[in-house]
C-alpha cells in the first residue's frame, strides 16, 4: 500500500520538476530575446533574418557538396 503511494508521489514530483525545469528554460531563452526585440527591433530583425537564411543555405550547401563527383 505505502509502496504504491510512494511511487505515485515520486512520479508526480518528477513530473512537476520536469514541468518546472521546462518553464525555467523557456523563460531563460525567451525573456532575453523578447527584451532585445523590444529595445532594438531593427538589429533583432536583421539577426533573425540572417539566422533563417543560414538555416536554409547551410543544408543546401551540404547537399550540393555531397553530390559532387570527385576523381
At 3 the pLDDT is: 85
Walking along the chain (71 residues) 10 residues at a time, the average pLDDT comes out as 87 97 97 96 97 96 79 59
Q: How far from 31 is each of 10, 24, 50, CA to CA, in Å?
A: 31, 10, 21
> How many Å apart are CA 40 and CA 27, to the nearest integer?
20
Specify the pLDDT at position 67. 78
What is the value of pTM for the model shown?
0.64
Domain span holding position 27: 2-67
First CA to last CA across the chain, in angstroms? 71
**Counted domains in the chain:** 1
Amino acid at each position: 500500500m505505502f509502496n504504491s503511494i510512494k511511487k505515485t508521489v515520486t512520479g508526480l514530483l518528477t513530473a512537476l520538476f520536469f514541468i518546472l525545469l521546462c518553464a525555467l528554460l523557456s523563460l531563460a531563452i525567451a525573456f532575453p530575446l523578447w527584451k532585445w526585440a523590444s529595445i532594438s527591433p531593427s538589429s533583432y530583425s536583421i539577426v533573425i533574418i540572417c539566422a533563417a537564411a543560414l538555416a536554409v543555405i547551410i543544408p543546401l550547401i551540404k547537399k550540393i557538396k555531397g553530390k559532387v563527383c570527385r576523381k
